[in-house]
Structures are given as C-alpha cells and as structure tokens.
Structure 1
Amino acid sequence: MLYLQKGSSLVAGDDGPGNLKTHNLDSTALPALEEMSEAHHAAGSIFEIEWGNMGMKALQPTFKLKGWDPQVLGLMGQKKRKIWTIYGNVIDKVEDEEVEVTAIIKARLAKVAPDSFERGKLMGHDHSMHEVVGYKLFFNGVEKIWWDHFAHIWRVDGVDQLADERRILRLPG
C-alpha cells in the first residue's frame, strides 16, 4: 500500500463559523509519538540496553498560518484547553482512492511565533500546542490511536495498552 497526503485543513478551537482554516493554512504537523526510555549498561554486560515502555513523551502538535488570523490569535494563552481537529486528504495510490485521516487534539495554544516581515513575501505565524491531554487519530474512519490522560486510556489499533496497569493500580477507565 502506498498512501500519500494531498491536503490538510484545521478547525481551530471548535467548529464555530470562521474556525475552519483552509485558505491561510500553510502546514500542519501531527505530534510525534515517542516512547520514553532510559539506557542501562549493566556491569556484567558488554552491551547497553535502552529500556522502554516507561511512558510517552509530551505531544506537541504544530501548524503554520499565512498572514494574520485574529480568531486563532485570540486562542493564545487561554486557561481552558480547546478541541483542535486536523483533517488530511490522503490518496491510496494502489487502489486510486482518497481516504480521510482525522486527528482530534485537546490542548492549549501555547506559542504563536510570527515570521519576520519582508516586503513582497507572505508573512506567517508558527503555532504550537502544549498541555495536550487528549489525542485521537483515525485513518479512513478506523481508530489508530486513542489517548485520554484523565480517563487513563491508551489504545493502539483498538487494543487497550493500559488494562493491566489500571487493574493493578485500581484506576477507572
């Protein structure tokens, strides 16, 4: 299978009027999924081992808008987290079909960095989200990733990765 992304759009904050960013959206970057690990070189071993399964690093999705966007600028530094939805238009080059990739992120907008202005060139703003407490990723309508910090849920391809931990620690979920 060969899937190539063709386009993207962003709903900034919720689905209110004016919150769909298509014409001024320059780029989107879904957060990197990176496991936390720690290296250990046992005294009696010739090889060091990178022990994993110790948790995941903080998610930091980003996007860039061209020009000024007062609606998004008004979301900067707010106390409450917002829902951000990124839609991707992906082409299955083998089957010659278009499929949807959807990412739903619950986070705060924590950085807005303007480009330097240069006459004759479009100025833009880089944005990044912090305090991500929820992340869902769907590929062609099928759940790939589901993480909810407060519900203590972490699923990959629909498989609960924290069931044993919740049971042992008597956590709900």
Structure 2
Amino acid sequence: MAEKLILLEQANIFLGDANPEDSNHIKLSSVALPALERITASHLGGGAVAEVNWSMNAFRALEPSFKLAGYAKSSYQQIATGSMERYTIYGALRNKETGKVLQAKSVVRGIIGRLAPDAFDRASAFGHDHGVTEVTHYELHVDGEEWFYLDYFTSVVRQFGNDQTQAARVALGIE
C-alpha cells in the first residue's frame, strides 16, 4: 500500500507553549526542522575491498532554524542572554488524498545561537534569520502520533514510541 501524501501548508512558532498572545504565525516567513543525521566513523580494513562508514549510534547536532519578518525584541533578548528556551512549532498538514487537515507539532529545547538580519532592500521584506543551537531536546508528532523523540540528558531516542536506546542505557549501568 502506498504511503499517504501529507504536505505542510502553514506553520507557526511559539516561544514556550501555545499561548495565543505569543503567536508568530503572521511574522513567520520560514521554518526548518533539524536534519536527522547519524554520526559515522570511516573504516577501511587492511584486507577490505571497500571503506564503510559505520554508524556510531548517535546523531549530529540538531540545529533547526526559522525566519521572522521585521524586528522581534524577544529575539534580541534571547541572543543576548543565551538562555535555554523551549520552542513549539505547529504545522497544518493536509492529506492530499482525503483533504483532511492534520496537526504537526515539534518541540525543541535550545538557545538562539545565530541571529542574522537581512540586508535592507526596499523591494524585499526585511527580517531576521534565527539559528537554534545547543539543542538538548527534540520531538516530532504528526496527527497525535509520536514520530521521533530525542532527549540528550536522559539519553533517550524513540521512533514511533519504540525506545531505540534502552539496551545501551542498561549496558552503561544508567538504567
């Protein structure tokens, strides 16, 4: 059976949870969820016919980004303090077969590590690119189902609710 075509049509980002007073849906120009990329180590055995990049069962730093139109005082406050914040990103997804609207929700815990204002051009909208670094927590839910969960401090990675890291935590004596 073919997988459903589900497209993102609209997005919003909140500092913290979904407080309607803190909505950025009007200012949000773009948002990029973090790339999920495994760390690998190259190995070429002495008698091997090919090199292999072995997965080290860890992910590269997760670094989502977003762009807000205009100026946002909160952005300058966050880059100045470097304090850990929670960002909640919502998306309106549409199942293209049924027309049903679904919710995507992503929760990120990190800091604004990059704030880059656009060059001014009277013919273009002015905004600020935001880069989130020091990400220690990331989760993605689609239509209420957990698709991905990673927490640095608890060493937990789950995919579709299945813990991928429990055996390693037991082996390390931390569970």
TM-score by length of 1: 0.93
Match of 2:141 in 1: 138
Residue 167 of structure 1: how far off its partner (Å): 0.6
* Structure 1, unaligned runs of 5 or more: none
Q: Which moved more, 1:144-153 or 1:29-38?
A: 144-153
1:78 aligns with 2:78: no
Query: SS at 1:54's partner residue?
Result: strand
RMSD of the alignment, in Å? 1.5
CA shift at 1:73, angstroms?
2.2
Q: In the alignment, residue 89 of structure 1 is paired with which amino acid? A: A
Task: Give every structure 1 segment of 4 or more consecutive aligned residues whose post-TM-superposition deviation is greater than 2 Å.
Answer: 12-19, 77-80
Pairing of 1:14-163 with structure 2 (within 5 A): 14-15=17-18, 18-163=21-166
Which amino acid letter does the alignment assign opposite residue 19 of structure 1?
A: D
Report the TM-score, using the length of structure 2 for normalisation.
0.92
SS in 2 for 1:75: helix
Q: Distance in 2 between matches of 1:46 and 1:152?
A: 35
Pairing partner for 2:15 from 8, 12, 15 = 12
Identity %: 30
**Aligned residue for 2:172?**
169
Deviation at 1:19, TM superposition (A): 2.2
Q: Distance in 1 between matches of 2:20 and 2:11?
A: 18
User: Following the alignment from structure 1 to structure 2, what is the Cα–Cα distance between the partners of residues 137 and 11?
Assistant: 15
Confirm or deny: 8 A CA contact 1:42 1:48 kept in the other structure: yes
8 Å contact from structure 2 (residues 68, 127) kept in 1: yes
Q: Which consecutive residues of structure 2, in runs of 5 or more, have no partner in the other structure?
A: none
Quick one: distance in 2 between partners of 1:132 and 1:62?
11
Q: CA deviation at 1:96?
A: 1.5
Between the aligned partners of 2:22 and 2:119, the Cα distance in structure 1 is 25
1-structure distance, mates of 2:61, 2:85: 17
The Cα offsets for residues 124-152 of structure 1, whole Å up to 9 and x where unpaired, read as: 11000111011111010001111111122
Structure 1 position 16, deviation (Å): 5.1
- How many pairs does the alignment contain? 172
**Post-superposition shift, 1:31?**
0.3
